[in-house]
Chains A and B, each alone.
Chain A
């Protein structure tokens, strides 16, 4: 039986590989490094991810 932590690790790996945003990871980062800032909602985080993902350099090959 995979534990809950293992499942979460797996989901995180899949997100990274597919290049998906990781809200939980981001919250952890904010708590670690900028603990005084207000936390963005999942919707706000997704918006900022969309803006940063499709910039000027191609991220995929032929």
Chain B
């Protein structure tokens, strides 16, 4: 009976993939996308994750977990598996899986979807699972500590530098997405500005007036948040108020930088903690709402399965399908950042070893499903509209007429009236050239929501989606700046001890300014970039995130080999090889490609000739050229750090396999669980 059910699930998945792949030239229902994804997840979870759990990791429910042995009623705390699933999912899901697929939709929905679904089953979920497993066996140690102890000190420091530099780029890209979504939008700016006093109010509630009452404060915060959303409409429609909340890109960029600095030096309870609660709540709520909307409406996919831009001439970002589809979609398929979460709070809360399978592997499948939904939300847009929102303003020209004309030459039809009509219907002055993915995702979500839960509220849904994205991106910005500050202080502490003291105010301000200044620099660079910034910064982020995943997979492979399971080491080595192929190719092309749209250095050379010919002003040209070279240098640093980690790991593996070195596993010793199983 069971066999028949599994055969049926596999068959449904396979047929859905067939439908997705073979339909050309007509719209098909998003149901096929959902069925193909879910069928593949179920088969992957049932068979592959079980193989990993039983054969490779040998999870043992008789072995007491850190949560049981070190239970302190707080961070180490046995938690039931579904609650922990929610906790882990809330920690790994973010803007990444929502934005990446929307950008990669320029190739059509099919390539991205294949990578999201098969990438997660064979690579992303394996990475999360192996790191969670390793950390669980080591009392919840972090990725960096595991790299240091199991591979070597050089690898440990390299991993730390990788994390810090990835963080800087990540924060810059995320901030850029928010700025692009909010520029010239009084409704959005008002709503997001309101979240700051709301958070401070919640902070005082929890800390001063009603200490510890976090649930009360969060409930109040949520009510106020919705009031701010409605208030935004009033502000946007009021001609005397609207100008107060209408800002250009650069002005918003400096405001975000100032905010990030404040959030990093202020006490956490005042800003960071309340925003963290609000954004986590909103995140889970909106993702559930989005799933319900897509399943209720099952909207038709209007974007083609494949577009002509697989040849690398796409307007959203430069580069061919290989490797750039796999760089652009980082988080939904595999995300190095998850290795930090999987070796953070989650391993300290596992009640039983066996739960690691549902939480590590299953949690990542869920994240991948979020990415599939984001892809569906982008694919419900008319292709013409999709490109009107996502192509840079410099390519489209400034007006709806010019944009419609440019998009027509790409083979998609859209009228100027459609472009202006859509902007008016969501309560914005214009949607043209709003690069970054968030606005087009919000339009897609608003269309799905208004179909599912009532027509006519489309403007409200749009701003609801924008608020949700901006809220949790800004929270990542707060938290990330703070973590970056701690890491920098730890590194700086090696140079001069007082700098390492995280409670010493001068050191705080110094390190905060460095971190915020770091991402702030790239943010301003992106805002002033004539091509919109996402073009150059998103691939940098993708490359760095995938390279961090490569570091995590190296650690995972080391753990597997040291456990004497070298014959199964392919489970992490195969994804590692793929990631290296993708990121090294992309890195090479971003630096050396002769196409100035793609290669940083050839772009700099083009600018140089423009300056020489007098068509580009010299100081502006010098700044753009410097930025190109800086971006190229950054790629060189990423690639060098990761090659260092990979080579030092491979050396360690060879030594162990040739028995030149004993395989010393630094797991905590076995203690029998006191729980009845």
Contacts and interface: CB of A to CB of B under 8 A. Distances in A.
Given A17-B280, A28-B73, A29-B73, 18 more contacts: A14-B215, A18-B277, A20-B214, A29-B72, A29-B77, A33-B73, A46-B206, A54-B273, A54-B482, A57-B343, A57-B344, A59-B91, A60-B276, A61-B92, A62-B96, A62-B174, A62-B335, A62-B545
B511 interface: no
B149 interface: no
Interface in B69-98: 71-75, 77, 79-80, 83-84, 86-87, 90-96
Interface in B429-483: 475-476, 479-480, 482-483
B345 interface: yes
Interface of B is mostly: helix
A26 B345 CA distance: 17
B142 interface: yes
Contacts, number: 131
Contact of B331 (A17, A52, A53, A62): A62
Given A16-B79, A17-B90, A58 B215 contact: no
A58 B340 contact: yes
B215 A61 contact: no
Contacts of A20: 214-215, 218, 277
A50 B390 CA distance: 40
Interface residue tally on B, bucketed by range: 35 or more
Contacts of B80: 13
Contacts of A14: 215
Interface in A7-57: 11-21, 23, 25-26, 28-30, 33, 41-43, 45-46, 48-50, 52-57
B469 to A, nearest CB: 12
Interface of B: 71-75, 77, 79-80, 83-84, 86-87, 90-96, 142, 167, 170, 174, 206-207, 211-212, 214-215, 218, 268-269, 272-273, 276-277, 280-281, 284, 331, 335, 337-338, 340-341, 343-345, 349, 475-476, 479-480, 482-483, 486-487, 490, 545
Interface of A: 11-21, 23, 25-26, 28-30, 33, 41-43, 45-46, 48-50, 52-62
Contacts of B280: 17-19
Nearest to A33: B71
Given A13-B83, A14-B215, A42-B211, A58 B479 contact: yes
Contact of A56 (B73, B86, B206, B486): B486
Contact of A21 (B167, B214, B338, B483): B214
A13 B86 CA distance: 9
Among A18, A41, A46, A61, the one with the most B-chain Cβ atoms within 10 Å of its Cβ is A61
B212 A60 contact: no
Among A18, A29, A49, A50, the one with the most B-chain Cβ atoms within 10 Å of its Cβ is A18
A17 B284 contact: yes
